[in-house]
Amino acid sequence: MVFVLILVWVIAGFVTAKKKEHRALGYAHPFLLLLELTVWFLLAKTCSRGGFMAAAGAALFFFVVRLGPVRLSACLKAIAPRVAVAALLLVLVGAVGRFSPGHLATDKSVSNRLEMWRGALAMVHDSPFNGWGFRNGGLAYANWYQSLDAAERPVGFVNSYLDVAVEYGLHLLAVAVLLLAFLVILSVTREHSLLMAAAGACLVAWGLANVWSSLWMEPLLWIFPLFAMFLIVVGAARSQVRAVLGALFRAALVSCAATAALWCAGRHASRRYEWLVIKDSATDKVTLCKRGHPGGADNPRAQVEIWADGAVFGPFYGRAIRAAAPLFSVRSAIIYPPWHVTGREEKPSGNPRIYAGFHATRIFDTPHDDGNIVLLHPTAPPRRGDGAKIDCPRLLLCLPEQDSSEHSLPWRRWATTMNIKPVYSPQLGQRIIVRENIVFWRRLFACSNNASF
């Protein structure tokens, strides 16, 4: 709707410029006024706070650029009536309450969004250049930063800039902000140009709307911004090289300032989180260590390695591991995600290793050392014949006490063949819930100290 408003302003500007030559165009003003009022009314009916912020920013940019910042009275004459009409419409449709401080303080959509933004800022600070991948930011947040009591999984952060920074890194966000700021500044180089002002206003509205939503993920919503970018590039083709370079320099300053501010905000936000999460740049594995004591992340002998499986740790495996982390006696943990495949990083390290769920079969392929190994609630069947034989004196097989899926039966037979005495957890099924029997899991995870169960 904001783009429709800008289109109405462009048509109105064209009519105003041409009405002296064609007096009949003067009759179009009442219809344009009615159309603009209709768009403002529809925008008020959406009760969208972000939409009004985008519309206000677009109006301010358009009329200041179009009329000139020196003509302050003309700008106020154009902007003030629109602000008054927007405020009146908000009152008439009953949406003004959504903008009140009291409502904002109790609105769950606002508090939940702010909580996600704090987590996203912490993620940017912890891994500024190692992105989590396209649309994986929400899953990473749910695993490593979301409250342990939360049950929902956010898809994104309802903020395009945080989405890009978390999923691709600060360097890509800096490039995106650079391009956006460059085009907006470039649209000002042609003073009093109607189309350039409109194109710049479109990008301003687009940039502001992305603060409150993730519009960049929807391809169809790129139509108007791309057209605005095209108009700016064509319109700036006649500009002097000096003006273009000046716009690029100012855009670079804006980009550097924005990314630096985002990183500093992330540093402040990260203090609220107990765990520091370091994502490996080459694989999907992460290192989890106490914030403020990251030395364990640099000491490979002070770590436990966990191969996670959703059937054992639940859909949010990272959250379950964080809940169990206080029971470990090591300073950090290396966690491999459920989709991890065998790679060169799997070398004997002497660290305790926990193979959960279907990862238990790795015991037959991975070289062994003197570290303890726990097979936690295996789901994939063990090998048979000569391939089932292993030489691992510090192996601990943990099976659920009651398992209706019968995944444990072949492992019981395998344990009998290998003269291994299994340990049975007090769980119903493969899924573990640490808080239901903390004493047992603390004893089990004592393998971190190479102690026997």
Instruction: Note the pLDDT tens digit of each residue in 11-62.
Output: 888 877 766 566 656 667 788 888 888 888 888 888 888 888 999 999 999 9
Least confident among 89-98, 203-212, 364-373, 395-404: 364-373
Asked whether residue 349 is domain-assigned, the answer is yes
Domain with 327, as residue range(s), is 275-449
Query: The tokens of 440 are what?
Result: 């047992």
Tell me the backbone φ, ψ of residue 364, rounded to 5 degrees: -90, -10
Residue that is last in its domain, among 210, 238, 266 = 238
Asked whether residue 221 is domain-assigned, the answer is yes
Please say if the pLDDT value at position 325 is more than 70: yes
Q: Would you state the pLDDT for residue 365?
A: 79
Q: What is the mean pLDDT of residues 439-449?
A: 74
280 and 232 in a single domain? The answer is no
Cβ pair 43, 52 in contact under 8 A: yes
208 and 289 in a single domain? The answer is no
297 and 417 in a single domain? The answer is yes
Asked whether residue 263 is domain-assigned, the answer is no
335 DSSP β-pair partners: 286, 306
221 and 321 in a single domain? The answer is no
pLDDT tens-digit profile of 160-194? 999 999 999 999 999 999 999 999 999 987 766 88
Q: Would you state the pLDDT for residue 344?
A: 46
321 and 408 in a single domain? The answer is yes
Strand order in the sheet with 353-356: 275-279, 286-290, 332-336, 303-307, 353-356, 373-376, 395-402, 423-428
Q: What is the CATH number of the domain that holds 319?
A: 3.40.50
Residue spans of beta strands (DSSP E) within 169-310: 275-279, 286-290, 303-307
Asked whether residue 162 is domain-assigned, the answer is no
Residue 234, amino acid: V
Asked whether residue 219 is domain-assigned, the answer is yes
Asked whether residue 123 is domain-assigned, the answer is no
Block residue for tokens 């459920």: 338
pLDDT tens-digit profile of 221-243? 899 999 999 999 988 887 788 88
205 and 318 in a single domain? The answer is no
Q: Which of the two residues, 385 and 278, has the higher pLDDT score?
A: 278
pTM of the model: 0.85
Q: Taking all residues of the chain, what is their mean pLDDT, rounded to a whole number?
A: 84
Q: Would you state the pLDDT for residue 429?
A: 83
Asked whether residue 180 is domain-assigned, the answer is no
340 and 397 in a single domain? The answer is yes
208 and 330 in a single domain? The answer is no
pLDDT tens-digit profile of 414-431? 999 888 889 999 888 888
324 and 403 in a single domain? The answer is yes
295 and 351 in a single domain? The answer is yes
For the chain, the domain total comes to 2
214 and 362 in a single domain? The answer is no
Q: Would you state the pLDDT for residue 166?
A: 94
Distances (CA, A) of 83 to 55, 88, 210, 426: 10, 9, 22, 64
Angle 19-194-258 from CA coordinates, rounded to 5°: 155
Residue that is last in its domain, among 211, 238, 265 = 238
Asked whether residue 42 is domain-assigned, the answer is yes
Please say if the pLDDT value at position 373 is more than 60: yes
Cα–Cα dist 379/16, whole Å: 74
323 and 375 in a single domain? The answer is yes
Query: The tokens of 370 are what?
Result: 């003197």
Cβ pair 166, 120 in contact under 8 A: yes
